[in-house]
Amino acid sequence: MKQDIIIVGGGLNGPALAVALAKSGFGVTVVDPRPPLARGQRGFDGRAYSLAIASRRLLGAIGVWEGLDTQPILKIKASDGRAGQGAAPFFLTFDHAEIEEGPMGFMVEDRFLYTALHDAMEAAGVTRVTGTVVAQGGGVTLSSGERLEAALVVGCDGRGSGTAQRAGIRRVGWGYGQTALVTAVEHERPHEGVAHQLFLPSGPLAILPLPGNRSSIVWSETDANATAIQALDDDGYLAALRPRFGDFLGDIRLAGTRFTYPLSLSLADRFVAARVALVGDAAHGVHPLAGQGLNLGLRDVAALAEVLVDARRRGEDIGALSVLDRYQQWRRFDSTAMALGMDGMNRLFSNDNPILRLGRDLGLGAVNAWPALRRGFIRQAAGLSGELPALLQGRMP
């Protein structure tokens, strides 16, 4: 079978790219070992994403936004704190009223986003192949021996990207010695669309609003603490969470599966090679501290789709390195800067050093008191800064 483009990986970025490219007239195949609906048909497993305004526009442009059950994020509050002592007095607050684009972002559950993307792939005529890619060159070879040919192979195969390895692309990165405990809770009082980022000495705790009186929890702890907490029964787990969470939403109880995720930084040293491009976590796996991982991936999707559509218009070979280099130039600086920014923030906040603690509290207070700087942060987090490809402006390239 010969296609224009083969996408390795049917997680979230792979399907989003497939729909954008198929709607632009390319022949696209997506390969993933998991049967398409296994992930979407599960009940709520606690996984949810915060999507920036720019990501929402992209999903709207490719026809995936309509009908998605989402929770707008109206305010973000960040503060420094210690378990049992509540938040430090300096709060950094970002309010959607400070920008004209509306809510600063949206929370969406993984099962809904995944299913919507896979439905859109089917509607756009994307070919879906269940299999594992084991070799590449002029296309890909699956573990079954089946061979698929294409002008371009895009690796959307996550942090351990085999596509990158097979293309000789190396990765740099390090572990944080931290593990994220991920779940969802139900609470007595409404969250009113407020997302909280509480910086605790052993790692940040994000409390992110979901539809109804529910919030998603991404709770980073040292590896040893996380292992001990995950081993507790549900009552013990909640007893450990409550002093960190505080009582501002009333009593809490578990409303999702509990799972853990080891945290690391992983950056590909190139995003492209001849006839190969990397997108999403395959190119850059970042700390989930600011909920930017998927948003960065969707920015890759928008930039690569635009570069490929332009190349075809000009009659260029879409797999040529000179074409793919344009994608790399567009995306590499932004994602590396974001990854290192998250890394620095995590290091600055994940400790109990009294001098750093005073410094960061003053820093949070200073940013809070400086409206122009605050608006700059909001626009950056919303994905509205820099040169925006068409999809991030809400239109097809």
Part in contact with ligand FAD (CB under 6 A); list of ranges 25-33, 90-98, 195-203, 234-242: 25-33
Type and span of the H or E element at 135: strand 133-136
The phi, psi pair for 60, rounded to 5°, reads -65, -45
Part in contact with ligand FAD (CB under 6 A); list of ranges 32-40, 88-96, 116-124, 361-369: 32-40
Which residue among 21, 167, 180, 241 contacts ligand FAD (CB under 6 A)?
180
Part in contact with ligand FAD (CB under 6 A); list of ranges 21-29, 80-88, 155-163, 319-327: 155-163
Beta carbon nearer to ligand FAD, 88 or 263: 263
How many C-beta atoms lie closer than 10 Å to residue 269's C-beta?
A: 11
Total residues in contact with ligand FAD, by rule CB under 6 A: 32
Q: Which two tokens stand for residue 4?
A: 């224009």
SS (H, E, C) 176-192: EEEEEEEEEEEECCCCC
Please state at what angle helix 13-23 crosses helix 293-313, rounded to 10 degrees.
30
Q: x/- binding map, residues 258-297, to ligand FAD, per CB under 6 A?
A: ---x------------------xx------x--xxxxx-x
Beta carbon nearer to ligand FAD, 50 or 361: 50
How many C-beta atoms lie closer than 10 Å to residue 115's C-beta?
A: 17
Q: Does 34 bind ligand FAD (CB under 6 A)?
A: yes
> CA nearest 300: which of 165, 125, 204, 161?
161
Terminal CA-CA length for the chain: 27
Tell me which amino acid residue 166 is.
Answer: R
> CA nearest 347: which of 175, 171, 217, 159?
175
356 CB-near residues (< 8 Å, 6+ apart): 348
Q: Does 10 bind ligand FAD (CB under 6 A)?
A: yes
Smallest separation, CB 259 to ligand FAD (Å) = 9
Contact 74, 193 (CB under 8 A): yes
Q: Does 92 bind ligand FAD (CB under 6 A)?
A: no
Distance between CA atoms of residues 71 and 195, nearest Å: 11
Part in contact with ligand FAD (CB under 6 A); list of ranges 17-25, 29-37, 113-121, 265-273: 29-37
Beta carbon nearer to ligand FAD, 5 or 180: 180
Q: x/- binding map, residues 295-324, to ligand FAD, per CB under 6 A?
A: x-x---------------------------
Q: Does 397 bind ligand FAD (CB under 6 A)?
A: no
Contacts with ligand FAD, residue ranges (CB under 6 A) = 8-14, 31-34, 49-50, 132-133, 156-158, 162, 180, 182, 218, 261, 280-281, 288, 291-295, 297
